Structure 1
């Protein structure tokens, strides 16, 4: 039997390397409104809490709300057309998911990215791999992470419960989400945050490769400490 019956994954920085496309769409939206570009490292710091907050952080301080909203709309249109230009799974992720499914682990994705992009990316990059997929859907009364709502909605769709689950992510938002759900968090070191940032955020288990993550989820190895 696997160590965990259910694994719920973050998307950006955990399963998919989406940073370059997020960076390019951010700068395309800023440029369209006469605003200065942001560096790749700035966008790396800005992501994790959804597109609206990404844009709020990217526009100049004091930008009027209507102009910020216009930048957001431009970003969404550009990203919808270009979200896969440079995006793909981290090495070893497709094999990880295949092995977990073969072992009978229920799999879900919950992401603060817009649901339009999450559904498209997961369907195209990981067809048939997940039992539940949720992007940002606060208009349906499901609060975004780190609130527990998205994970709870995913579990409900799968007919699973939190007692046998692990949450997998790459950021402080994911660590907070797992704490709010009341489940173990497995933090990955290959994503958008450094190991030092993860430790500072309270990570208790950090894995360095998808193969190591697989061994922990299936129970073939002890959980590595942070």
Structure 2
């Protein structure tokens, strides 16, 4: 049996604002959706307060921001409108963040496993990654509807780790928002925050275990160091 410390790590990524810069397409689909209610469009500056919990919550928050609280029975049709527009325009102007693909190539060459854990609907996450020819990198892709829970519930991350064939003691969560850092903390997994996503506060305020400012920094050596430091931290 392979000792846990010798097993290749699993790196679990958030999607929006972490793997992919999706802001233009999210804003366009959201504005298309709320236009059905005659509401003024939202902007990129609003996006940090809206994303992170999936399309349903994003629409609810956008409507509330525009002074139009929704009745629950109005949401399904709006979610359907959003999904149809977003899926129909993939990949739009969405693209991986600089250095991401090279970083994933480095990790895969070192036999690392990779996964995605996002609150975006699984079908949308999978469809987007397929359009960008990135699905081949991942051992598991889970969304906000893959389980009965979603981030920051620890079971979303632990379920993703299990699907990817990973070891929780050799896993790392990378994300851009409070949900990502919180789900890692709740699951007992070290976290890496990236500052170029959609957090409405500086990621340093979220108390991640590490911050990287560019994917050039994401190397096997850095991951192994983080895992060692985290093991010492939790043992104290």
Q: TM-score, normalised by structure 2?
A: 0.85
Q: Which range is displaced more, 125-134 or 174-183?
A: 125-134
CA contact (8 A) 2:47 2:198 kept: no
Offset of residue 219 of structure 1: 4.5
Q: Are 1:202 and 2:207 matched, yes or no?
A: yes
- Per the alignment, do residues 2 and 104 of structure 1 end up closer, same or farther by CA in structure 2, a change over 3 Å counting? farther
Q: Equivalent residue for 2:30?
A: 26
Tell me if structure 2 keeps the 8 A contact 1:19–1:44: no
SS in 2 for 1:208: coil
Query: Does the 8 Å CA contact 1:4/1:217 hold for their aligned counterparts?
Result: no
By how many angstroms is 1:22 displaced? 0.3
TM-fit CA distance, 1:64: 2.0
**Gaps in structure 2 of 5+ consecutive residues:** 230-236
Taking a change above 3 Å as real, the CA distance of residues 4 and 210 of structure 1, as seen in their structure-2 partners, is farther
Mapped contact 2:30–2:59 kept (Cα < 8 A): yes
Please say if 1:192 is aligned against 2:170. no
Q: Deviations over 1:151-170 (max 9, x none)?
A: 22222123222101111101
Distance 1:104 1:4 in 2: 6
1:47 lines up with 2:47 in the alignment: no
Q: Name 1:133's counterpart in structure 2.
A: 141
Residues of 2 paired with 1:31 and 1:209: CA distance? 36
Structure 2 vs 1, CA of residues 2 and 197 (structure 1 numbering), >3 Å: closer, same or farther?
Answer: farther
Instruction: Decide whether the 8 Å contact of 1:4 with 1:165 is kept in 2.
Output: no
Report the number of matched residues: 219
- Provide the C-alpha distance between the structure 1 equivalents of 2:6 and 2:18, rounded to a whole number of angstroms: 21
Could you tell me which residue of structure 1 aligns to residue 154 of structure 2? 148
**Over residues 77-121 of structure 1, what are the superposed CA-to-partner deviations in whole Å (9 max), with x where a residue is unaligned?**
111112311101011101111110000111110110011111112
Contact 1:175-1:185 at 8 Å conserved across structures: yes
> Alignment partner for residue 211 of structure 1, among 204, 213, 216?
216
TM-score, normalised on structure 1?
0.88
Preserved contact between residue 87 and residue 127 of structure 2 (Cα < 8 Å): no
Structure 1 unaligned regions, length at least 5: none
